[in-house]
Structure 1
Amino acid sequence: MIYLYLFITFFQIGLFGFGGGYGMLSLIQGEVVHNHGWLTTGEFTDIVAISQMTPGPIGINSATYCGYTAVHNAGYGYWMSILGSVTATFALVLPSLILMILISRLFMKYMNTPTVQSVFSGLRPAVVGLLGAATLLLMTPENFSAPSVNPWQFWISCFLFVATMVGTWHFKINPIRMICYSGFAGLILLY
Protein backbone atom coordinates (compact mmCIF):
# COMPACT_ATOMS: atom_id res chain seq x y z
CA MET A 1 0.00 0.00 0.00
CA ILE A 2 2.93 2.35 0.63
CA TYR A 3 3.86 2.07 -3.05
CA LEU A 4 0.46 3.39 -4.09
CA TYR A 5 0.79 6.33 -1.70
CA LEU A 6 4.33 6.98 -2.95
CA PHE A 7 3.11 6.93 -6.54
CA ILE A 8 0.18 9.28 -5.90
CA THR A 9 2.27 11.67 -3.78
CA PHE A 10 5.16 11.97 -6.21
CA PHE A 11 2.85 12.08 -9.23
CA GLN A 12 1.13 15.11 -7.68
CA ILE A 13 4.50 16.71 -6.90
CA GLY A 14 5.61 16.12 -10.49
CA LEU A 15 2.36 17.57 -11.78
CA PHE A 16 2.45 20.75 -9.69
CA GLY A 17 6.19 21.20 -9.08
CA PHE A 18 6.97 24.18 -11.31
CA GLY A 19 10.45 25.64 -11.20
CA GLY A 20 12.48 22.46 -11.37
CA GLY A 21 13.96 20.44 -8.55
CA TYR A 22 14.64 23.29 -6.14
CA GLY A 23 11.06 24.45 -6.54
CA MET A 24 9.88 20.92 -5.76
CA LEU A 25 11.85 20.62 -2.53
CA SER A 26 9.28 22.44 -0.43
CA LEU A 27 6.51 20.27 -1.91
CA ILE A 28 8.49 17.09 -1.31
CA GLN A 29 9.31 18.08 2.27
CA GLY A 30 5.69 18.98 2.98
CA GLU A 31 4.47 15.62 1.74
CA VAL A 32 7.09 13.16 2.96
CA VAL A 33 7.91 14.83 6.30
CA HIS A 34 4.78 16.66 7.41
CA ASN A 35 1.80 14.98 5.70
CA HIS A 36 2.88 11.33 5.61
CA GLY A 37 5.65 11.25 8.23
CA TRP A 38 7.75 8.90 6.12
CA LEU A 39 10.96 10.81 6.95
CA THR A 40 12.17 13.05 9.72
CA THR A 41 13.34 16.59 9.00
CA GLY A 42 16.93 15.48 9.59
CA GLU A 43 16.61 12.60 7.13
CA PHE A 44 15.11 14.94 4.54
CA THR A 45 17.96 17.41 5.03
CA ASP A 46 20.48 14.61 4.51
CA ILE A 47 18.64 13.54 1.37
CA VAL A 48 18.76 17.08 -0.02
CA ALA A 49 22.51 17.27 0.66
CA ILE A 50 23.12 13.93 -1.05
CA SER A 51 20.85 14.88 -3.96
CA GLN A 52 22.85 18.05 -4.55
CA MET A 53 26.15 16.20 -4.59
CA THR A 54 25.11 13.34 -6.87
CA PRO A 55 24.84 13.76 -10.64
CA GLY A 56 21.41 14.47 -12.05
CA PRO A 57 18.47 16.75 -11.30
CA ILE A 58 17.92 17.42 -7.60
CA GLY A 59 14.17 16.77 -7.78
CA ILE A 60 14.59 13.33 -9.29
CA ASN A 61 17.47 12.45 -6.97
CA SER A 62 15.40 13.55 -3.97
CA ALA A 63 12.43 11.48 -5.11
CA THR A 64 14.68 8.44 -5.55
CA TYR A 65 16.20 8.74 -2.09
CA CYS A 66 12.86 9.64 -0.45
CA GLY A 67 11.19 6.60 -2.00
CA TYR A 68 13.93 4.33 -0.75
CA THR A 69 14.01 5.83 2.74
CA ALA A 70 10.22 5.87 3.11
CA VAL A 71 9.92 2.18 2.31
CA HIS A 72 12.98 1.32 4.40
CA ASN A 73 11.58 3.25 7.39
CA ALA A 74 8.31 1.36 6.98
CA GLY A 75 10.23 -1.83 7.80
CA TYR A 76 10.69 -3.38 4.39
CA GLY A 77 13.94 -4.90 3.15
CA TYR A 78 16.53 -3.76 0.67
CA TRP A 79 14.83 -4.92 -2.56
CA MET A 80 11.46 -3.56 -1.51
CA SER A 81 13.14 -0.23 -0.72
CA ILE A 82 14.64 -0.15 -4.21
CA LEU A 83 11.14 -0.65 -5.57
CA GLY A 84 10.12 2.40 -3.52
CA SER A 85 12.90 4.38 -5.23
CA VAL A 86 11.74 3.30 -8.66
CA THR A 87 8.10 4.06 -7.83
CA ALA A 88 8.80 7.57 -6.53
CA THR A 89 11.15 8.43 -9.39
CA PHE A 90 8.80 7.12 -12.08
CA ALA A 91 5.82 8.93 -10.54
CA LEU A 92 7.73 12.23 -10.38
CA VAL A 93 8.83 12.05 -14.02
CA LEU A 94 5.57 10.71 -15.49
CA PRO A 95 3.54 13.98 -15.49
CA SER A 96 6.33 15.86 -17.26
CA LEU A 97 6.67 13.10 -19.84
CA ILE A 98 2.94 13.08 -20.54
CA LEU A 99 2.65 16.86 -20.66
CA MET A 100 5.69 17.30 -22.90
CA ILE A 101 4.37 14.76 -25.38
CA LEU A 102 0.94 16.40 -25.42
CA ILE A 103 1.94 20.04 -25.62
CA SER A 104 5.21 20.04 -27.55
CA ARG A 105 3.50 20.51 -30.89
CA LEU A 106 0.99 23.00 -29.53
CA PHE A 107 3.70 25.02 -27.83
CA MET A 108 5.75 25.38 -30.99
CA LYS A 109 2.64 26.58 -32.83
CA TYR A 110 1.35 29.00 -30.18
CA MET A 111 4.43 30.04 -28.16
CA ASN A 112 4.46 33.61 -29.48
CA THR A 113 0.80 34.34 -28.75
CA PRO A 114 -0.05 36.89 -26.05
CA THR A 115 -2.00 34.31 -24.01
CA VAL A 116 0.93 31.89 -23.73
CA GLN A 117 3.32 34.74 -22.96
CA SER A 118 0.97 35.96 -20.22
CA VAL A 119 0.82 32.48 -18.66
CA PHE A 120 4.61 32.30 -18.51
CA SER A 121 4.82 35.83 -17.11
CA GLY A 122 2.49 34.75 -14.32
CA LEU A 123 4.45 31.57 -13.59
CA ARG A 124 7.83 33.30 -13.17
CA PRO A 125 7.07 34.96 -9.79
CA ALA A 126 5.52 31.72 -8.53
CA VAL A 127 8.72 29.84 -9.38
CA VAL A 128 10.81 32.41 -7.49
CA GLY A 129 8.45 32.04 -4.53
CA LEU A 130 8.84 28.25 -4.56
CA LEU A 131 12.62 28.57 -4.62
CA GLY A 132 12.48 31.02 -1.71
CA ALA A 133 10.19 28.67 0.23
CA ALA A 134 12.62 25.79 -0.36
CA THR A 135 15.44 27.92 1.03
CA LEU A 136 13.49 28.95 4.11
CA LEU A 137 12.26 25.40 4.78
CA LEU A 138 15.86 24.20 4.92
CA MET A 139 16.88 26.86 7.47
CA THR A 140 16.18 24.63 10.45
CA PRO A 141 18.07 23.80 13.66
CA GLU A 142 19.08 20.50 12.04
CA ASN A 143 21.04 22.49 9.46
CA PHE A 144 22.18 25.54 11.43
CA SER A 145 21.90 24.39 15.06
CA ALA A 146 20.70 27.15 17.41
CA PRO A 147 22.64 29.87 19.21
CA SER A 148 21.47 28.58 22.57
CA VAL A 149 22.41 24.96 21.83
CA ASN A 150 25.72 25.26 20.00
CA PRO A 151 26.75 28.87 19.24
CA TRP A 152 29.95 27.85 17.43
CA GLN A 153 28.09 25.57 14.99
CA PHE A 154 25.33 28.15 14.50
CA TRP A 155 27.69 31.00 13.61
CA ILE A 156 29.91 28.81 11.42
CA SER A 157 26.80 27.56 9.60
CA CYS A 158 25.57 31.14 9.09
CA PHE A 159 29.02 32.18 7.85
CA LEU A 160 29.15 29.26 5.38
CA PHE A 161 25.64 30.10 4.16
CA VAL A 162 26.52 33.75 3.51
CA ALA A 163 29.95 32.91 2.06
CA THR A 164 28.42 30.39 -0.34
CA MET A 165 25.69 32.82 -1.39
CA VAL A 166 28.18 35.66 -1.98
CA GLY A 167 30.69 33.34 -3.64
CA THR A 168 28.24 31.93 -6.18
CA TRP A 169 26.25 35.11 -6.77
CA HIS A 170 28.83 37.89 -6.65
CA PHE A 171 32.13 36.18 -7.46
CA LYS A 172 30.58 33.58 -9.82
CA ILE A 173 32.40 30.67 -8.17
CA ASN A 174 31.22 27.32 -9.47
CA PRO A 175 28.56 25.90 -7.08
CA ILE A 176 30.30 22.51 -7.06
CA ARG A 177 33.48 24.17 -5.81
CA MET A 178 31.47 26.03 -3.15
CA ILE A 179 29.92 22.75 -1.97
CA CYS A 180 33.41 21.21 -1.72
CA TYR A 181 34.80 24.28 0.08
CA SER A 182 31.89 24.29 2.54
CA GLY A 183 32.22 20.58 3.21
CA PHE A 184 35.95 20.98 3.85
CA ALA A 185 35.32 23.99 6.12
CA GLY A 186 32.68 22.04 8.00
CA LEU A 187 35.08 19.13 8.44
CA ILE A 188 37.79 21.38 9.85
CA LEU A 189 35.68 23.78 11.90
CA LEU A 190 32.88 21.55 13.16
CA TYR A 191 34.58 18.19 13.70
Structure 2
Amino acid sequence: MILLDLFIAFFKIGIFSFGGGYAMIPVIEHESVNHGWISAAAFADSVSVAGMSPGPVAMNAAIFVGYKVAGVAGAIAATLGMSLPSILIIVLLGTVFYKIKDHPVIASVFYGLRPVITAFILFAACRFAIQSHLVSSDIRKSVIGIVMLLIALVLLFYKKVHPLALILSFGVIGILGGWLMA
Protein backbone atom coordinates (compact mmCIF):
# COMPACT_ATOMS: atom_id res chain seq x y z
CA MET A 1 0.00 0.00 0.00
CA ILE A 2 2.83 2.42 0.80
CA LEU A 3 4.28 1.88 -2.68
CA LEU A 4 0.94 2.80 -4.24
CA ASP A 5 0.70 5.85 -1.96
CA LEU A 6 4.18 6.95 -3.05
CA PHE A 7 3.36 6.38 -6.71
CA ILE A 8 0.06 8.31 -6.50
CA ALA A 9 1.55 11.22 -4.53
CA PHE A 10 4.46 11.62 -6.94
CA PHE A 11 2.21 11.09 -9.95
CA LYS A 12 0.11 14.05 -8.73
CA ILE A 13 3.28 16.10 -8.27
CA GLY A 14 4.47 15.13 -11.73
CA ILE A 15 1.18 15.95 -13.44
CA PHE A 16 0.33 19.21 -11.66
CA SER A 17 3.75 20.82 -11.19
CA PHE A 18 5.17 23.13 -13.82
CA GLY A 19 8.43 24.99 -14.15
CA GLY A 20 11.05 22.34 -13.63
CA GLY A 21 12.75 20.81 -10.64
CA TYR A 22 13.21 23.76 -8.34
CA ALA A 23 9.62 24.90 -8.86
CA MET A 24 8.48 21.40 -7.82
CA ILE A 25 10.43 21.37 -4.56
CA PRO A 26 7.71 23.11 -2.45
CA VAL A 27 5.10 20.67 -3.76
CA ILE A 28 7.29 17.64 -3.02
CA GLU A 29 7.98 18.98 0.46
CA HIS A 30 4.29 19.59 1.13
CA GLU A 31 3.28 16.08 0.05
CA SER A 32 6.17 14.37 1.83
CA VAL A 33 5.73 16.21 5.12
CA ASN A 34 1.92 15.95 5.09
CA HIS A 35 2.10 12.18 4.54
CA GLY A 36 4.54 11.98 7.46
CA TRP A 37 7.21 10.42 5.27
CA ILE A 38 9.92 12.94 6.17
CA SER A 39 10.35 16.00 8.39
CA ALA A 40 10.78 19.48 6.92
CA ALA A 41 14.36 19.60 8.23
CA ALA A 42 15.23 16.22 6.71
CA PHE A 43 13.64 17.33 3.44
CA ALA A 44 15.82 20.46 3.38
CA ASP A 45 18.85 18.20 3.78
CA SER A 46 17.59 15.97 0.97
CA VAL A 47 17.28 18.99 -1.34
CA SER A 48 20.92 19.85 -0.58
CA VAL A 49 22.01 16.35 -1.53
CA ALA A 50 19.63 16.29 -4.53
CA GLY A 51 21.01 19.58 -5.82
CA MET A 52 24.58 18.32 -5.69
CA SER A 53 23.76 14.93 -7.21
CA PRO A 54 23.77 14.32 -10.94
CA GLY A 55 20.35 14.62 -12.57
CA PRO A 56 17.21 16.66 -12.03
CA VAL A 57 16.86 17.99 -8.50
CA ALA A 58 13.15 17.17 -8.18
CA MET A 59 13.66 13.61 -9.37
CA ASN A 60 16.58 13.19 -6.97
CA ALA A 61 14.41 14.50 -4.13
CA ALA A 62 11.64 12.06 -5.10
CA ILE A 63 14.12 9.19 -5.14
CA PHE A 64 15.42 10.24 -1.73
CA VAL A 65 11.94 10.41 -0.18
CA GLY A 66 10.86 7.15 -1.81
CA TYR A 67 14.00 5.39 -0.62
CA LYS A 68 13.58 6.74 2.92
CA VAL A 69 9.98 5.51 3.02
CA ALA A 70 10.26 2.08 1.38
CA GLY A 71 13.82 1.39 0.29
CA VAL A 72 14.67 0.65 -3.33
CA ALA A 73 11.05 -0.24 -4.18
CA GLY A 74 9.93 3.12 -2.77
CA ALA A 75 12.54 4.95 -4.81
CA ILE A 76 11.31 3.17 -7.94
CA ALA A 77 7.65 3.91 -7.14
CA ALA A 78 8.38 7.61 -6.55
CA THR A 79 10.49 7.81 -9.71
CA LEU A 80 7.83 6.17 -11.88
CA GLY A 81 5.10 8.31 -10.33
CA MET A 82 7.06 11.48 -10.93
CA SER A 83 8.22 10.72 -14.47
CA LEU A 84 5.19 8.99 -15.98
CA PRO A 85 3.05 12.15 -16.27
CA SER A 86 5.83 13.97 -18.10
CA ILE A 87 6.33 11.11 -20.50
CA LEU A 88 2.61 10.87 -21.24
CA ILE A 89 2.18 14.63 -21.59
CA ILE A 90 5.20 15.00 -23.88
CA VAL A 91 4.04 12.19 -26.13
CA LEU A 92 0.47 13.50 -26.32
CA LEU A 93 1.19 17.21 -26.58
CA GLY A 94 4.30 16.85 -28.69
CA THR A 95 2.21 15.55 -31.54
CA VAL A 96 -0.13 18.55 -31.36
CA PHE A 97 2.01 21.40 -30.06
CA TYR A 98 4.00 21.99 -33.21
CA LYS A 99 0.79 22.84 -35.06
CA ILE A 100 -0.59 25.24 -32.43
CA LYS A 101 2.52 26.77 -30.85
CA ASP A 102 2.10 30.11 -32.63
CA HIS A 103 -1.57 30.50 -31.73
CA PRO A 104 -2.07 33.74 -29.72
CA VAL A 105 -3.97 32.00 -26.90
CA ILE A 106 -1.23 29.40 -26.42
CA ALA A 107 1.48 32.08 -26.46
CA SER A 108 -0.52 34.06 -23.88
CA VAL A 109 -0.87 31.05 -21.59
CA PHE A 110 2.90 30.52 -21.57
CA TYR A 111 3.46 34.23 -21.02
CA GLY A 112 1.12 34.09 -18.00
CA LEU A 113 2.79 31.01 -16.52
CA ARG A 114 6.33 32.47 -16.49
CA PRO A 115 5.84 34.81 -13.47
CA VAL A 116 4.17 32.06 -11.44
CA ILE A 117 6.94 29.60 -12.17
CA THR A 118 9.53 32.24 -11.24
CA ALA A 119 7.66 32.81 -7.96
CA PHE A 120 7.73 29.05 -7.24
CA ILE A 121 11.49 28.96 -7.78
CA LEU A 122 12.05 32.04 -5.57
CA PHE A 123 9.77 30.56 -2.90
CA ALA A 124 11.77 27.31 -2.95
CA ALA A 125 15.02 29.29 -2.67
CA CYS A 126 13.71 31.33 0.27
CA ARG A 127 12.40 28.23 2.06
CA PHE A 128 15.71 26.50 1.48
CA ALA A 129 17.62 29.52 2.82
CA ILE A 130 15.52 29.55 5.98
CA GLN A 131 15.51 25.78 6.57
CA SER A 132 19.23 25.45 5.93
CA HIS A 133 19.86 28.30 8.39
CA LEU A 134 21.36 30.61 5.78
CA VAL A 135 19.03 33.12 7.39
CA SER A 136 18.94 32.49 11.14
CA SER A 137 18.86 34.16 14.52
CA ASP A 138 22.68 34.07 14.56
CA ILE A 139 23.41 37.37 12.80
CA ARG A 140 27.07 36.49 12.18
CA LYS A 141 26.15 33.26 10.37
CA SER A 142 23.41 35.03 8.42
CA VAL A 143 25.75 37.79 7.26
CA ILE A 144 28.46 35.30 6.28
CA GLY A 145 25.93 33.15 4.43
CA ILE A 146 24.41 36.10 2.58
CA VAL A 147 27.88 37.41 1.63
CA MET A 148 28.77 33.95 0.31
CA LEU A 149 25.48 33.87 -1.62
CA LEU A 150 26.21 37.25 -3.20
CA ILE A 151 29.77 36.24 -4.07
CA ALA A 152 28.47 33.06 -5.69
CA LEU A 153 25.91 35.04 -7.71
CA VAL A 154 28.56 37.51 -8.90
CA LEU A 155 30.87 34.66 -9.88
CA LEU A 156 28.05 32.92 -11.75
CA PHE A 157 26.65 35.96 -13.55
CA TYR A 158 29.70 38.07 -14.25
CA LYS A 159 32.71 35.78 -14.12
CA LYS A 160 30.91 32.77 -15.64
CA VAL A 161 32.55 30.43 -13.10
CA HIS A 162 31.52 26.82 -13.61
CA PRO A 163 28.89 25.74 -11.01
CA LEU A 164 30.91 22.64 -10.12
CA ALA A 165 33.90 24.82 -9.27
CA LEU A 166 31.67 26.90 -6.99
CA ILE A 167 30.24 23.81 -5.27
CA LEU A 168 33.70 22.42 -4.60
CA SER A 169 35.29 25.70 -3.52
CA PHE A 170 32.41 26.79 -1.30
CA GLY A 171 32.32 23.31 0.23
CA VAL A 172 35.99 23.72 1.17
CA ILE A 173 35.25 27.23 2.47
CA GLY A 174 32.42 25.76 4.55
CA ILE A 175 34.74 23.14 6.03
CA LEU A 176 37.37 25.74 6.87
CA GLY A 177 34.73 28.11 8.26
CA GLY A 178 33.29 25.34 10.42
CA TRP A 179 36.70 24.63 11.90
CA LEU A 180 37.32 28.32 12.54
CA MET A 181 33.93 28.87 14.17
CA ALA A 182 34.09 25.73 16.34
- For the criterion TM > 0.5, the same-fold answer is yes
| Residues 1:67 and 2:63 aligned together | no
Alpha-carbon shift at residue 86 of structure 1 (Å): 0.4
Aligned partners of 2:154 and 2:133: how far apart in 1?
19
Distance (Å, rounded) in 1 between the aligned partners of 2:126 and 2:141? 19
Task: Give matches, 1:25-104, under 5 Å.
Answer: 25-33=25-33, 35-71=34-70, 81-104=71-94
User: How much does 1:45 deviate?
Assistant: 1.7
Q: 1:10 to 1:141 in 2, by over 3 A?
A: closer
Amino acid at match of 1:32: S
Distance in 2 (CA, whole Å) between partners of 1:102 and 1:145 is 43
Asked if residue 190 in structure 1 is aligned to residue 178 in structure 2, the reply is yes
Cα deviation 1:2-48 (Å, max 9, x = unaligned): 21221111111111211110111111111112x12211222112211
Name stretches of at least 5 consecutive residues in structure 2 with no aligned partner. none
Is this contact kept in 2: 1:41–1:142, CA < 8 A?
no
Task: Please tell me the residue identity of whatever aligns with 1:86.
Answer: I
**SS in structure 2 of the partner of residue 100 of structure 1:** helix
Q: Percent identity?
A: 34
Q: Matched residue pairs, number?
A: 179
Q: Which residue of 2 aligns with 1:172?
A: 160
- What is the TM-score when the length of structure 2 is the normalising length? 0.90
Which TM-score applies when normalising by structure 1?
0.86
Q: Which residue of 2 aligns with 1:76?
A: none
Shift of 1:84: 0.4
Per-residue deviation, 1:178: 1.4
Two-structure CA RMSD over aligned residues (Å): 1.7
Where does structure 1 lack aligned partners over 5 or more consecutive residues? 72-80
What is the alpha-carbon distance in structure 1 between the residues aligned to residue 98 and residue 63 of structure 2? Answer: 32
